[in-house]
Structure 1
Amino acid sequence: MAPRIEHGSFAVDEHIWGHRLYDEQLPHLVILEFLNVLQSNLNDPLRAPSSVKISYQPQHQIRLRSLLFNNPYVEVVRARKIPDDTKWDTWIELFKRDAVEMGDMFFDHLRKSFISFDDFARSIELLRSSAFEGKSNKRWSSKFVFPFGPDALYEDLRFDANDNVSNDRRFFARTGELLYLMLGRASNGRVLGHQLVERLFRQPSNMNRLVKVLQGPVQQAPNRRDVGYLPYAQLPRFDRLCDDWLAILARDIPIYDGLDHITTMTGLNLLLYFLERGKNSLGDVEPVEIVCEVVSSQRTKVRALSGESFQANQTISLRAVKALVENIRTTPEWEAALNSEDPKGECAHIMAERFQYDKDDEIDIHQLSGEGLIEKLLKKAETRHAQHVEKIHSTWSRAIGLSSRRLARRVRYAPNDRLLKALVVTVVDDRMEFGEFLAEIYRRYGLVIGHVEGIRHIQNNQVDQEALMINAEHLETRLYGLGLVRRLSDSCAFVENPFHRQGDM
């Protein structure tokens, strides 16, 4: 029996995917939340499952984010033709109007740390340019600097009207916590954990030193907290995710550049986890397939098939929720409850045990029949699912560059250059024959591009072989333009990883 999920009147999505996947927490925010958990577990990173609950104590770094994202005055003061000391005094006076938890000693620290106010202003500008969604209209406490090192990590926060602070679950919705659990449950999780600690936390970058100067002493959350709930002890997708991280870390590429590829491949693997667990809940044993059109100027049959593939996968999660609730009818416990002396009470007890559905503000669930309970819970589960979880497939596929509306009226799978580069960096160690590359990305991620991998669709008369062969040729041309393919002849091409590391690591 799964543990009770906090702050919920019932749990359905959580039994399929864990607590929790959330559409507004895009892959880069998942990575940031993951790194916060990792930072609190540096002595035993990504440990295997045990009876001891994993917890962490994130940083707040309020001074840093105030300077970067709640500081509109620095550019104005910098542009003034006034003495340097006057610039500092003017900026401090303006900044204090909206400042939170700063203190006069901190301003003295800043003045001593920079040669001039202009130097300070340029440092702010440099770090802002690296921020995720730095120019978005998000509140300042929900904007994040690039994770240059341990001092640049902090959680999403909310301030009330009295400047009281609390953690917010909108953009740090616990998906990063689930990622930590997934990687910890992978076969090579401990290997990955120690590599990440060594490269991200034991070797701080120059940019992290700058962040540390701006932040000053670390500001932490007052207490440790437990991570979310993941209902699976082991899955092949966890191993695939972990091995993809290890592959990227093995390339001849700086760790902070590699994080972009890690973010993209994490988004792809989490998307596949979402679809695979949905199909599992439906009793569908067929692997997930993602038919991709490689965008060209002409409309092809692959474009239509790719749109159909997208729409089919879009429906999986809602059907999975419905199946999970309705399948309770087939259990021996449910049949026994219906035949008991108190069928309403026994059915309500099963609903409480299975789905935490033991109270409802609208009705007395103990007065409902078994069918009434199923219908009521299903309606509530479908409504809640539609708010966020159902949107994960469309939101995340767009975020990682897997889906697009370009040159089409509806969304379909059409990978962009960023995703294609990440696939090559991850999958190809040195070089790989083009057909083998197509087979490998199908085996790992279900991506259908060529006629060999799309044979089922050819046999079902959904598309002809020539159309898929042309689609594969378009991919080869795209990769050639990106410098990732070498053609030896008209019939022989190799995909090459430009970041392959020669010799021993």
Structure 2
Amino acid sequence: MTDAPTLPSSHIDKSGSNIKLWLEEAIWGHRLYDDQTPWLAMLEFLNVFRSRMALGKALREEYGPERHEDIVYDMERMRAVRYLVFNNPYMRQVEQSVVSDGERWKRWLEHVGDNALKVDFGYLKKRFNDFSELCRVVEFFQETAVQVQTNKRWTSRFIFPYGPDCLYADLDGVGEMLGSNDRRFFARGGEILYLMMNRSTRAAAVADAIRGKLLDGTNRWNRLVKVLLRDGHGQQREQVSSVKAGYLPCIGLADYDRLADDWLAVLSLGLPGQGLVDPLVRLTGLSVVLYMLGRARSVTGESEGRLVLEIAAPRRSPILDLSKDNFDSNRNAPLRAIERRMLDVRGMQAWKDAVADKHDPKQATLKILAAEFHWNPPQADAAQFATPAAALSAMEEAARKRHGQHFAKVLPNWSRAIGLATARRSVGTWYSPSDPLIKALVMANVPRQEEFNIFLAKLFDRYGIVIGVTEAERSFGSLPVDAQAFRDNAERLEHRMRALGLVRRLSDDCAYVINPFAGEPQ
């Protein structure tokens, strides 16, 4: 691992005026945020990629030990499409209540003519055979939207990323232009992913694969979106003002290559791009979880981490309790990291010199905290610090409170969102994989077919996933529960994968994991 230079304060100011304490960002980057789901991080990533692709620089950004990437990108507003799909309930009412096609168009256009966007939707009448055809197209994008069941405002809802013309910004919904870029749901997690991918050794190959598979503007679904776009959209783009990408602290990590390898494996499969997005979201979310745990361990010095997965059993198994303890420990790893980082300040020579300052030790220590953490408490608060230790304690309290509000929730939220963890009110939360996550792991790790035990070993080697007895012995040394519990756990996974069409048993001693999606790309 190579750490990049300390981020200058000028960059912090540009990153957002709400940053009062630069602590989590220094360890994991700016920023990961609990309101941004793995799906929304994927959409933000694709927005960055699309913008940089137009400049011929996608995942070919320059960086090095002395400086980070200097990336500026833009995002579309796509006012007409998002209004039609997410803020247009009158369309169905008109279709159901009016018989004449001409009258349907007249009624609907009169209604949408009063919209605050000042968009004239009359161009749609020329592009569809009748009003019902338009309704079916709009319904298609409504039903296939990202996170269909969400109750977010319509300016924070997104159509499925079928291609480059399906990507647009999260906006705060203020005024005729729908306001400005909102950082609640596009919280820079996608920028972190872009920087991670750019720093992998496979960046150029991933860029080519994304361009050909996910952002192919000629596919029929992307062409269908373009039918909804206003005349002259390509010449008069409604871009959000240029955005400066965030910050990633480490120049080189194995996490970046694992993320890139997963993407390359999935994007090489013989499925159309839209069939690959969900497994990519899950695998990317898993990479972020492992990145967060790995960076936490790099600060605390803790031993290599693990993910103990319990495969659902008819009765409560000892693996569930072990997995629950494992989940709880991992969930608290970021907190242990920031506490260790703050504790380390006391051992710095600069801190010792500041405490020993005979003139004004309190001010000297406040300068150290400002330099290390960009923490500048209000003058009224600072005046109450009787000693340097009191100032440090106040910062530590502020850091723990801030951590608990957002960053502490990222690991559990993302683990559940990607199907890595499950929760039950009477039990708690533990690692137990969903069927879509199991499929995604097969897609990324099995070229065509592979012996089942080799597959389990690969999951352990690549992700730290513990399911069977061999991997448990490698992880724990001395097994924490009876070996038979791990054997049963692996057997349940095999049976489950067989039901999913992912395992074929040829004899009592030979089971193979099958990747049914492998083959020549379409």
- Report the TM-score range of the alignment, normalised by the length of the smaller protein: over 0.9
Partner of residue 373, structure 1: 391
Partner residue, 2:344: 327
Structure 1 counterpart of 2:30: 19
- 1:213 paired residue number: 227
Distance 1:390 1:288 in 2: 18
What are the within-5 Å matches in structure 2 for residues 33-432 of structure 1? 33-42=44-53, 43-50=56-63, 53-97=70-114, 99-104=115-120, 107-160=121-174, 165-216=179-230, 217=233, 219-284=237-302, 286-341=303-358, 342-360=360-378, 363-364=381-382, 368-405=386-423, 409-432=427-450
Q: Contact between 1:63 and 1:100, CA under 8 Å: does it hold in 2?
A: no
Equivalents in 2 of 1:362, 1:438: separation in Å?
A: 58
What are structure 2's unaligned runs of at least 5 residues? 1-5
Contact 1:46–1:193, Cα closer than 8 Å, also in 2:
yes
Give SS of 2:504's match.
Answer: strand
In the TM superposition, residue 494 of structure 1 has moved relative to its aligned partner by 0.9
* Distance change >3 Å, CA 458–CA 206, structure 1 → 2: closer
Q: What one-letter code is carried by the residue in structure 2 that aligns with 1:300?
A: S
C-alpha distance in 2 between matches for 1:457 and 1:133 = 36
State percent identity of aligned pairs. 38
Deviation at 1:408, TM superposition (A): 5.9
Moved more, 1-10 or 66-75: 1-10
Q: Deviation of residue 215 (structure 1)?
A: 2.1
The alpha-carbon distance between structure 1 residues 292 and 129, as it changes in their structure 2 partners (threshold 3 A), is same
Indicate whether 1:449 and 2:467 are aligned. yes
Tell me the TM-score normalized by structure 1. 0.95
- The residue type paired with residue 114 of structure 1 is F
Q: Using the alignment, how far apart are the partners of 2:487 and 2:347 within structure 1? A: 45
Taking a change above 3 Å as real, the CA distance of residues 488 and 89 of structure 1, as seen in their structure-2 partners, is same
Question: Following the alignment from structure 1 to structure 2, what is the Cα–Cα distance between the partners of residues 19 and 362?
Answer: 29
For the aligned residue pairs, the C-alpha RMSD in angstroms reads 2.0
Instruction: Check whether the contact 1:278–1:317 (CA below 8 A) recurs between aligned residues.
Output: yes
- Aligned partners of 1:325 and 1:362: how far apart in 2? 23
Contact 1:49 1:233 in 2 (8 A): no
3-state secondary structure, aligned to 2:325: helix
1:189–1:242 CA contact under 8 A, matched in 2: yes
| CA distance in structure 2 between the aligned counterparts of 1:265 and 1:330, rounded to whole angstroms | 39
Alignment check: 8 A CA contact 1:458 1:465 kept: no
Change (3 A) 1:449 1:75: same
Aligned partner of 2:130: which letter?
Answer: S
Give 1:407 shift. 9.4
Q: Which runs of 5+ in 1 are unaligned?
A: none
Structure 1 residues 367 and 379, CA gap change in structure 2 (3 angstroms): closer
- The normalised TM-score by structure 2 is 0.92
Q: How far apart, in 2, do the equivalents of 1:372 and 1:443 lie?
A: 45
Residue identity matched to 1:338: V
Which of residues 42, 46, 59 is equivalent to 1:31?
42
Hey, what's the Cα distance between the residues in 1 that align with 2:383 and 2:334? 26
The change in CA–CA distance for 1:374 and 1:295 in structure 2 (over 3 A counts) is same
